[in-house]
Amino acid sequence: MNWFKQLFSRRRLYDDLSEEIHEHLEEKIEELVASGMPRKEAAAAARREFGNVTLAEEDSREVWRWPLIENFLMDLRFGLRMLSKNLGFTAVAVLTLALGIGANTAIFGVVNAVLLRPLPFKQPSRLMMLFEGIPKLGFPKMGFSAPDFAVFERAQKSFESVGVYQNKYFNLSGDREPDRLMAARISSSVFPMLGAEPMLGRRFTIGEDAPGQNVVILSYGLWQHRFGADPGIIGRNLELNRQPYTVIGVMPKAFDFPLRGPQGSEPAELWVPMAFTATELEGWGTNYMNGVLARLRPGLAFQHASAEAESLSRSIGSNYPPELTKAFQGAELKVSMNSYHEEVVKSVRTLLLILMAAVVLVLLIACANVATLLVSRAASRQKEVALRTTLGATRVRLLRQMLTESLLLALIGGSLGFAFASWVKTLLLSLVPESVPLPRDIPISGSVIVFVLAASFLTTVLFGLVPAFQVSAMALYGPLQEGGRSGTPGRLRHRLQGFFVTVEFALALVLLIGSGLLIRSFAKLLETNPGFRPDHVLTLNIPIPSERYTQATKVRQFYEQLLDRAGNIAGVKAVGLTSDLPLNGCGTIAIQIEGGRNTGGETPQAICQTWQVGNYFQTLGIPLLKGRSFTLEDRIDTQPVAIVSEMAGRQFWPGQDPIGKRIRWGVYTPWQTIVGIAGDVNDEPLGQPVRLHVYRPYLQMADLFFEDSRFGEVRSMNLAALSQTDPASLTSAVIGQIHSLDPDLAVAHIRTMTQVISSSVAGPRFNTLLLGVFAGVALFLAAIGIYGVMAYAIAQQTHEIGIRLALGAQPRNVLQLVLRRGVRLAGVGAAFGVAAALALTRLMAGLLYDVSATDPVTFSCVVILLLAIALLACYVPARRAMRVDPMVALRYE
Amino acid sequence: MKKPEQRDLFPGALEMMILRTLKRQPLHGYALVQHIKRTSNDLLQIEEGSLYPALQRLLKEELVKAEWAVSSTNRRVRIYRLTAAGAKHLQRQVSSFERMLEGITRVLTPGES
């Protein structure tokens, strides 16, 4: 008989079977009656001889079925019925699991996309990134300078191709208002190396590596929203930085380059040829700003290529002009290599792994919580289990049924969690600050779905197995045995619940300590004095296109006029311009000190240099400790001057007065006389060490810097204005003044100085927030867990409490009794948690600022907090216990 | 809890006995179990109920077939009858059982070799 026919004839088969068995019994009874037995006795005897009628019938039917699947379906149906009958329990369990699985799925999605997935390029494991470095000057890793890259490209043998890229802003103007776009200059070798093909048009050719060919490739996004996905875009002309460029290609939607991360790279919206200019190629010892990618030759080992790259350091150095080599003596160049993937992920790896660990802990807590719920519920199902056992259910069968119910819970929780995860992920990614290199769009991939399923099954095992064993163990205590409140199963249950609660508290404590450390570290970060006064300062960035303002005098004139006009806006107290704002990094140069130890060719000094004009120090409240600040009289034709930071003065001229001393930048600029000492300011984001700093008057910048595209920053000054009131209210007036000078100028980065601070700590804030949220969830779940267990225990002990009260115990004693158990559970959990935290928090040392990973203050605060929450969670059921009426409790028996 | 027929007999023994009995003559369930009990002199403790799952297995494998009839005592009964495949199966089972029994007997009988 084939299975299809079976499926339809089954009903008849079963009917035949029932009738047959019925007839069998009847025949037997007849026979016994005929032999003289009373009918009633005969019926009993017949049944005795026959055995378990239901079981025989069920076993017979099973012959016709696929028992594994059909039993499973039956359990599923039954499970659904049980869950829908007990909605409160189901809701709590499902939501708890959804929370745990959802959080895990969201974070796993990010971890998978960022850490686990290979880079979206051809043979990504063979892609390397190369760096130059001058370790002696405090620069272990920089990009390549243009001439160094040219030397490297010619000399190297380990790579089948090398490419170079650099992020650069472009103003895209034309019929619509100008857009400031992040672009990248790339060499023609980059796209072939990555295996990237345009979806429209072509890639750059080798011929386009020579300067003077204005061609551009657009990203899919830009093509979509700026050009309405025009299929005839190829060959059209665009105006970039007021120069005509021809569109030669459009990249596909999924293509992203440069990847966020290494050396502050950012994805570009359009690409132009790198085409180093002759001046760039002569810029020895300057502008180590180019990212270098290379593809390993097939079969060549990483170590081999790495060794070759390092050995090339010397030949690069030997090409430097002799006067530079002399000045840089003792500060050799080093070339190093690392895999591109590693460079892209390394800054987020610790954070992501910590987050993953955090959500796994949350899931474990969720499981422990559901397990305690199941254990409590198992008690109320004792009768049901006993009945099933009597009817012939085996222990394995019971176990399977219990696990099916758990699986059902986990799957419902999992699918809810999946929905929840995509929401969490969107929220998470919208919160990711600019400074954290995470992709902005993470699709849900197959591996994420597999992860959800795996997580659901794993949780089933975790939370379902122990209660299921416990239930099936009940079967051993004899069918229909009375006494659910006392006896061994009760004690086992008690102990199991205690165990789960302890585990929950230990896990929650680990998370709380991790997040506590981050919070303390963040607070310390905010307390650091950045060296300036951020209140009431508006800042904005005004880049001046070199194509319109070709001559240095024109640029100087523009900024001078702007300074004058902005200073006259009502409500502005002071105004200044600077090439770099604090906390945003700064251009680093190597200087020589006149008469110093190093002017004779010894190691030069690395220092931050910013250019400024106007009342910059006053605007930002940076104290001038000695000497004078710059004036508008410090011009190109007057004596070159400089102001150094306090720390720089102390380091360069220990025990001497820096005023009147002279320094120079590199070996080509004239000597500059120090005229003032300013307070130290954080040039890098808060939490990073303060650096040495030299300020120069902008009006003294030599003309050649304006004519040389390498010094883009001198054409991109930041205006800072100190206002009497809310600084943001100045915005439109300031922009109005800019546009009165040149209506076509784009203005960027309009922020108050408070916002600058806030975005400089955006990374740490993000970490703190995320871990804080997960710790909060963990604490909440643990509190619910202990509450549930205590409430249940008290409900079970009503009888005992009644007797105690009847025998003269005070309600206070009862309260103590309950609280003591709660605190004991939480306390044991906390002890294990502290031990685990001591072992684990050191992994996050890299994320902490000025706080040790075993900070005793954090540890003790968190333990106290946790115990307090536990007490609170026990207090509510304990109050109920106190109010037990002895009479009611006793009558209950 | 184990199934009764596994407690008392080796797997397949009940089926073999059913087939052997049906080879003699077609019978309905009650008569079948009575016959087995009687022939074994009540040495085999068989729960009568356990007959039915075994019969269903044989039906499924088409070693027996069943049809409803009316018995001599005017009772609706389901008569089981051996099929050709059933007869062949029985033969194979019996010979393999005899070989096994012979082996066991030799081991259990002391001395000789």
Mark yes or no for CB contact A60/B55 under 8 Å: yes
What is the enclosing helix (H) or strand (E) of A773? Answer: helix A762-806
User: Where would I find the H helices in A51-126?
Assistant: 53-62, 67-85, 87-111
Residue of A nearest to B37 (CA): A49
What's the pLDDT at A487?
A: 45
Instruction: Give the number of A-B residue pairs with CB atoms closer than 8 Å.
Output: 69
The pLDDT, as a whole number, for residue A601 is: 43
Contacts of B50 in chain A (CB under 8 A): 51, 56, 59
Whether A403 is in a domain gets the answer no
| Residues of chain B contacting A472 with CB distance shorter than 8 Å | none
Chain A residues with CB-CB distance to B60 below 8 A: 1, 63-64
Instruction: Tell the residue number behind the tokens 């987050």, with chain if given.
Output: A355
CB A341 within 8 A of CB A349: no
The pLDDT assigned to A488 comes to 47
pLDDT of residue A597: 57
Q: Are strands A270-273 and A179-186 parallel, antiparallel or unpaired?
A: parallel
CB contact under 8 A, B75 and A57: no
Say what the ipTM of the complex is. Answer: 0.80
User: Which residue of chain B is at minimal alpha-carbon distance from A17?
Assistant: B52
Q: Do A24 and B75 touch (CB under 8 A)?
A: no
Q: Which residues in chain B touch residue A52, judged by CB atoms under 8 angstroms apart? A: 47, 49
Predicted pLDDT at A215: 95
Which of A20, A44, A65 is where one domain is finished? A65
Instruction: Enter the tokens of residue A523.
Output: 């607070």
- Nearest by CB to B52, from A17, A392, A394: name it: A17
Q: Which residue of A26, A51, A63 is in closest CB contact with B57?
A: A63
Given an 8 Å threshold on Cβ–Cβ distance, is B56 in contact with A28? Answer: no
Decide if B53 and A19 are in contact by the 8 Å CB cutoff.
Answer: no
Asked if residue A533 belongs to a domain, the reply is no
Probe site for chain A from B1, B7, B44, B71 (most A CB atoms < 10 A): B1
Task: Report the CATH number of the B4-108 domain.
Answer: 1.10.10.10
Assigned domain for A414 exists: no
Shortest distance, CA B95 to any CA of chain A (angstroms): 26
**pLDDT at res. B41:** 74
- Name every chain A residue with its beta carbon within 8 A of the beta carbon of B53: 56, 59-60, 62-63
Residues A776 and A681 in one domain: no
CB contact under 8 A, A392 and B1: yes
Distance of CA A220 to the CA centre of its chain: 26
Q: Last residue of a domain, which of A48, A65, A82? A: A65
Single-letter code of the amino acid located at A838: L
Q: Which residues contact A2 (CB under 8 A, 6 or more apart)?
A: none
Residues of chain A where predicted confidence (pLDDT) is lower than 50 = 1, 479-488, 598-602
Which among A500, A504, A473, A499 has a CA at the least distance from the CA of A487? A473
List the single residue in B1, B30, B52 with the smallest CB-CB distance to A27. B30
For chain B, residues with pLDDT lower than 50 are 1-7, 113
- Cα separation of the two ends of chain A: 59
Q: Which of A306, A327, A344 is the last residue in one of the domains? A: A344
Q: Between residues 72 and 101 of chain B, which touch chain A (CB distance below 8 Å)? A: 73, 75-78
Q: Answer whether residue A496 is part of any domain.
A: yes
Q: Are residues A810 and A680 part of one domain?
A: no
In a domain, A538, yes or no: no
Angle at A556 between CA A550 and CA A562, to 5 degrees: 115
The C-alpha atoms of residue A587 and residue A610 are separated, in whole angstroms, by 7
Q: Judged by CB atoms within 8 Å, which residues 358-417 of A form the interface with B?
A: 392, 394
Predicted confidence at residue A70, as pLDDT, reads 72
B73: nearest CA partner in chain A: A27
Residue-level pLDDT at B6 = 41
The CA distance from A317 to A743, in Å, is 46
- Both A648 and A710 in one domain: the answer is yes
Flag whether A429 is in a domain.
no
How much is the pLDDT for A345?
A: 86
Mark yes or no for CB contact B49/A53 under 8 Å.
yes
Both tokens assigned to A765: 């804030």
Same-domain status, A581 and A627: yes
Phi, psi of A260 (to 5 degrees): -60, 140
Q: CA A820 to CA A828: how far, in whole Å?
A: 12
Q: Could you list the residue range(s) of the whole structural domain that residue A620 is in?
A: 545-744
- CA A342 and chain centroid, separation: 16
Scanning every residue of chain A, which has its alpha carbon at the shortest distance from the alpha carbon of B71? Answer: A27
Tell me how far the alpha carbon of residue A547 is from its chain's centroid. Answer: 41
Residue A50, chain B, CB below 8 Å: the answer is yes
Please indicate whether, in this complex, the C-beta atoms of A28 and B30 are within 8 angstroms of each other: yes
Chain B residues touching residue A48 (CB < 8 angstroms): none
Whole-number Å distance between alpha carbons of A339 and A295:
10
Residues A603 and A680 in one domain: yes
In a domain, A765, yes or no: yes
Query: Is residue A361 within a helix (H) or strand (E), and if so which, with residue range?
Result: helix A340-380
Residue A56 to chain B, least CA–CA distance (Å): 5
Determine the Cα–Cα distance for residues A723 and A645; give it in Å rounded to an integer: 25
Same domain, A817 and A868: yes
Looking at residue A205, the DSSP 8-state letter turns out to be -
Pairing type for strands A243-250 and A215-218 reads parallel
pLDDT of residue A177: 67
Q: How far is A484 from chain B (nearest CA, A)?
A: 24
Q: What is the pLDDT of residue A575?
A: 94
Question: Which of 97-156 (A) contact B at CB < 8 A?
Answer: none
A596 plus A638 within the same structural domain: yes
**A26 has a chain B CB within 8 A of its CB:** yes
User: Among A313, A471, A331, A311, which residue's Cα sits nearest to residue A393?
Assistant: A471
> Do A819 and A725 have their domain in common?
no
Q: Per the CB < 8 Å rule, is A60 touching B48?
A: no
B62, A392: Cβ pair inside 8 Å?
Answer: no
Helix (H) or strand (E) holding A437: none
- Beta-carbon neighbour count of residue A212 at 10 Å? 8
* Residue in A619, A564, A101 with CA at minimum distance from that of residue A365: A101
Q: Is A180 helix (H, G, I), strand (E, B) or coil?
A: strand
Mark yes or no for CB contact B56/A61 under 8 Å: yes
Question: Are A322 and A264 within one domain?
Answer: yes
pLDDT at A482: 45
A606 shares its domain with A738: yes
Dmax over Cα atoms in chain B, in whole Å? 59
- Are A56 and B62 a contacting pair at CB < 8 A? no
Query: How far A61 CA lies from chain B's nearest CA (Å)?
Result: 7
Residue A51 counted as domain residue: yes
- What was the pLDDT predicted at A486? 44
Question: Does A434 touch chain B if contact means CB atoms closer than 8 Å?
Answer: no
User: Following CA atoms A446, A448, A452, A458 in sequence, which dihedral angle do they give, to the nearest 10 degrees?
Assistant: 100
Distances (CA, A) of A315 to A147, A161, A326, A743: 12, 19, 16, 50
User: What six digits make up the tokens of A791?
Assistant: 């409430």
**Chain B within 8 Å of A673 (Cβ-Cβ)?**
no
pLDDT at position A190, please? 95
